[in-house]
Structure 1
Amino acid sequence: MELENFKELWNKDTGLDQPEISLEKQRDIHSPIQMLKINMKTEFWLMLVTLPLLLISVPFASADSNIKTISAFVTVLTVGFITYFYSRFLKLYKLLQKNSINTNYDLFNLKTQLLISKEIYISYYISYIPLAFLLSLIKINFHFDIEYNLAIFGISFLITLLLVCFIIKYWIYYMYGRYIDDVISLVDELNGLEVKPKAEKKKTWFERSQKFFMNKMGVKGNILNTVIWFVSVYIFIILFLTFVLLIIIIIGAKLDFIDVVGLQRALDRVN
């Protein structure tokens, strides 16, 4: 092989040749990537704030030594899940920090990592379902035969399922999914693949408030918007479920289907 040909191939392999991606397209890609990085940082800090609240819910104060052992196991398992997920989270963040998306290889690698990370992200939240199942069992001391324990178990577990469904359907999409879709569409377009045109959708309240805060405060506005919605939705879900449960209890008491005194005793045992 001639020396010049070898040098040309070497330059291509090492990325020293001229960029394959136009600067305009690079800017288009960097925009959603920047939003991904901002949202990742925001979620990381939210996780640090909410993690203690999650661990507090584990019943270490139980008089039953078996419950304490299982609680410790659940805690270790939860911390293990979180550690693994956020190690991948950090790896993706470092990848997004790199500005070199000059070649098709960079784009392909970026697309692959984003798709993998999205699936890991979904799996991470799904993994809380069996943990919630176990915590719900711990809450009733594994006794379904005691009055109203089955209902308490079912409601506790149902709340977790609803939260996970909400996170997968809305949180993941607005925090990451739509930006990942933008990047993937651009990558596919640059590689000559058919890209389906996006259907025009009416902007949601989240998107409107995000635009408003970002126009006023820039990046900090996006973080503020995310925090406000995170706290607001959490409070709304709790209040909504509390309201629904109260309605069910009131109707059940009126129809003599629920014994309020017995239910109160069951709740006192759980607490």
Structure 2
Amino acid sequence: MELDSLKNTWQNESPESTPEISLEKQKELHLPLEKIRRNMRMEFWSSVFFLAFAFVFIWSLTFMPFKFKFYLTMLTFSMVIVVSFFFYQFFLFYKEISNLTVKTFESLKDLMLQFQLNKQYYISFYLSFVPFLVCELMIVINFIPAYDHFSNLKFAILFLGLVLFSLTLLFFVGKWWFQCFYGKHIKNISQQIEDLK
């Protein structure tokens, strides 16, 4: 007798009984997803353009010594390697949400988990630029003759001030960028999921 009731309970909780989401709601969810995909494409191509421009710009500085251009080129090349790793993860996520079917509530919960994971990748992406930023400032300041006349204390204060300013700017621009291009759409999807509960 208890075995029969246990079997019935098991069948009632089977994954096949997960309620499906209406077609109307699926279409509403696809709109912010499409905006996220469009922004991901734009971010990828703008990054490719920016990195290509950086290489051209560095070598167009004819008045700077070869060492300066070489150091910045190597640093930019290192950035390309780091950016490539993150864009590979980005591409996998892009591919996943392109083929996503949001027919069940479980698939929506999985989508939100993917968003959280990729938000962490995004934060890591910006944090990975900290050493590059510090190195670039070191190289630029080292090759500007005007700073040779500064005392050690003045130079240290100037350098630390530039680093703090640049890191603060990187933090706020990164936060704004994510919110503007992805955060508001993720929030929209999250709100729609809450409405479905």
The alignment's TM-score, normalised by the length of structure 1, stands at 0.55
- Aligned residue in 1 for 2:43: 43
Can you list the C-alpha shifts for 1:221-250, whole angstroms capped at 9, x where unaligned? xxxxxxxxxxxxxxxxxxxxxxxxxxxxxx
Give the count of matched residue pairs.
181
For 2:77 and 2:37, how far apart are their aligned partners in 1? 28
- Aligned residue in 2 for 1:102: 103
Which of 176, 195, 198 matches 2:182? Answer: 176
Aligned residue type for 2:36:
L
- Aligned residue in 2 for 1:24: 24
SS at match of 1:140: helix
For 1:52 and 1:162, how far apart are their aligned partners in 2? 26
Please say if residues 26 and 102 of structure 1, whose CA atoms lie closer than 8 Å, have aligned partners that are also in contact: yes
Q: How does 1:116-155 map to 2 (within 5 A)?
A: 116-141=117-142, 146-148=148-150, 150=155, 153=159
For 1:54 and 1:85, how far apart are their aligned partners in 2? 19
> Is the deviation greater in 166-175 or in 32-41?
166-175
Alpha-carbon offset, residue 165 of structure 1: 3.0
SS at match of 1:21: coil
Alpha-carbon offset, residue 87 of structure 1: 0.7
For 2:180 and 2:42, how far apart are their aligned partners in 1? 13
Alpha-carbon offset, residue 161 of structure 1: 2.9
For 2:160 and 2:52, how far apart are their aligned partners in 1? 24
Alpha-carbon offset, residue 187 of structure 1: 2.3
Q: Which consecutive unaligned segments of at least 5 residues does structure 2 have?
A: none
Q: How does 1:62-211 map to 2 (within 5 A)?
A: 62-64=65-67, 68=70, 72=74, 74-141=75-142, 146-148=148-150, 150=155, 153=159, 157=163, 160-161=166-167, 163-191=169-197
SS at match of 1:138: helix
Please say if residues 133 and 157 of structure 1, whose CA atoms lie closer than 8 Å, have aligned partners that are also in contact: yes
Aligned residue type for 1:85:
F
- Aligned residue in 2 for 1:204: none
- Aligned residue in 2 for 1:219: none
CA shift in 2, pair 1:171/1:182, >3 Å: same
Please say if residues 85 and 120 of structure 1, whose CA atoms lie closer than 8 Å, have aligned partners that are also in contact: yes
Q: Which consecutive unaligned segments of at least 5 residues does structure 1 have?
A: 192-271
Alpha-carbon offset, residue 185 of structure 1: 2.2
Please say if residues 72 and 136 of structure 2, whose CA atoms lie closer than 8 Å, have aligned partners that are also in contact: no
Can you list the C-alpha shifts for 1:101-147, whole angstroms capped at 9, x where unaligned? 11122111110111111221132123212211011111233899722
Alpha-carbon offset, residue 186 of structure 1: 2.1
For 2:194 and 2:149, how far apart are their aligned partners in 1? 58
The alignment's TM-score, normalised by the length of structure 2, stands at 0.72
SS at match of 1:100: coil
- Aligned residue in 2 for 1:53: 53
Percent sequence identity over matched residues?
27
Q: CA RMSD in A?
A: 3.7
Please say if residues 33 and 96 of structure 1, whose CA atoms lie closer than 8 Å, have aligned partners that are also in contact: yes
Please say if residues 140 and 152 of structure 1, whose CA atoms lie closer than 8 Å, have aligned partners that are also in contact: no
CA shift in 2, pair 1:26/1:108, >3 Å: same
Please say if residues 18 and 105 of structure 2, whose CA atoms lie closer than 8 Å, have aligned partners that are also in contact: no
SS at match of 1:146: helix
Which one has the bigger helix percentage? 2
- Aligned residue in 2 for 1:267: none
Please say if residues 139 and 153 of structure 1, whose CA atoms lie closer than 8 Å, have aligned partners that are also in contact: no
CA shift in 2, pair 1:71/1:153, >3 Å: farther
